[in-house]
């Protein structure tokens, strides 16, 4: 069974980039809804597996109803963990900085690639920064699709571009939401930790 993971910060901690109201709906209603629905649909024999195993089993078995709910649980936990407004989480150094320089030239270019990808995603989905074959890559996935559990791919960070992630604060202006998050709320320490893991 999957359990509800609390946010790693207070509901007001991402303001003004993401409001308390948005975060309370996003975590308390949307994310919790995915956890509950996933548990409802989870086959008995998968109940004791961890979430990454369940995603793999559902993907391999083409069990899309379970895959969609469980992947959304994982994607949301990863998304929430990757946000911070703390100065402490802003340092970009070491291996991460080397990779950014090698693959994107500089941090600003990486940020603009994230924004371009967020804008280009048609409909609901996710923007990903991943490590693949030793290189940093940015791409987007549709609906619940996730790089979690894909061989040779290490997810480092994600941006939720479903409308529920921004509509209360930014209405239809996805680019304003994405710009605010990418400029101010990326937890770079989280990215470095994922790189090292
Ligand atoms: Fe979401």
Predicted confidence band of residue 141 (pLDDT cuts 50, 70, 90): very high
CA 164–ligand 1 middle distance (angstroms): 6
- In a shared domain, residues 108 and 139: yes
Q: CA-CA-CA-CA torsion for 122, 151, 66, 160, nearest 10 degrees? A: -40
CA 76–ligand 1 middle distance (angstroms): 6
- In a shared domain, residues 110 and 176: yes
Distances (CA, A) of 94 to 45, 91, 125, 189, 195: 43, 10, 30, 11, 11
End-to-end CA distance of the chain: 25
Question: Do you find a cis peptide bond into 52, omega within 30 degrees of 0?
Answer: no
CA 101–ligand 1 middle distance (angstroms): 30
Task: State the CATH number of the domain containing residue 96.
Answer: 3.55.40.20
Provide the token pair at 75.
């994607």
Domain count, the chain: 2
- In a shared domain, residues 120 and 187: yes
> Mean of the pLDDT values across residues 50-75?
97
- In a shared domain, residues 130 and 47: no
Spatial distance between the Cα atoms of 197 and 194, rounded to a whole number of angstroms:
5
Structure confidence at residue 175 (pLDDT): 97
Give the number of other CB atoms < 10 A from CB of residue 47.
11
pTM score over 0.85: yes
- In a shared domain, residues 36 and 123: no
Predicted confidence band of residue 93 (pLDDT cuts 50, 70, 90): very high
Provide the token pair at 45.
């024999």
CA 131–ligand 1 middle distance (angstroms): 23
Bridge partners (DSSP) of residue 106 are none
In which domain, by residue range, is 48 found? 20-81
Structure confidence at residue 97 (pLDDT): 97
CA 25–ligand 1 middle distance (angstroms): 9
Structure confidence at residue 64 (pLDDT): 97
Taking only the tens place, the pLDDT of each residue in 23-45 is 999 999 999 999 999 999 999 99
CA 125–ligand 1 middle distance (angstroms): 9
CA 195–ligand 1 middle distance (angstroms): 23
Spatial distance between the Cα atoms of 121 and 144, rounded to a whole number of angstroms:
13
Q: Are strands 153-160 and 125-132 parallel, antiparallel or unpaired?
A: antiparallel
CA 73–ligand 1 middle distance (angstroms): 9
> Mean of the pLDDT values across residues 40-57?
96
- In a shared domain, residues 30 and 77: yes
Predicted confidence band of residue 187 (pLDDT cuts 50, 70, 90): very high
Report yes or no on 139 lying in a domain.
yes
CA 11–ligand 1 middle distance (angstroms): 15
Structure confidence at residue 10 (pLDDT): 98
């Amino acid at each position: 069974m999957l359990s509800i993971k609390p946010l790693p910060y207070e509901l007001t901690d991402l303001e003004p980039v993401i409001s308390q109201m948005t975060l309370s709906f996003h975590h308390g209603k949307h994310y919790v809804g995915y956890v509950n629905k996933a548990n409802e649909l989870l086959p008995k024999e998968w109940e004791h597996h961890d979430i990454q195993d369940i995603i793999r089993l559902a993907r391999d078995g083409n069990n899309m109803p379970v895959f969609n709910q469980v992947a959304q649980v994982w994607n949301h936990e990863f998304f929430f963990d990757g946000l911070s407004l703390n100065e402490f989480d802003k340092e970009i150094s070491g291996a991460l900085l080397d990779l950014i320089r090698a693959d994107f030239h500089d941090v600003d270019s990486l940020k603009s690639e994230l924004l371009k990808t967020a804008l280009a995603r048609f409909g609901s989905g996710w923007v990903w920064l991943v490590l693949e074959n030793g290189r940093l890559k940015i791409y987007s996935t549709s609906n619940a699709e996730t790089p979690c559990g894909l061989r040779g791919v290490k997810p480092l960070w994600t941006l939720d571009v479903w409308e529920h992630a921004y509509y209360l604060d930014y209405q239809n202006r996805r680019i304003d939401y994405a710009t605010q998050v990418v400029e101010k709320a990326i937890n770079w320490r989280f990215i470095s930790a994922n790189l090292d893991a």
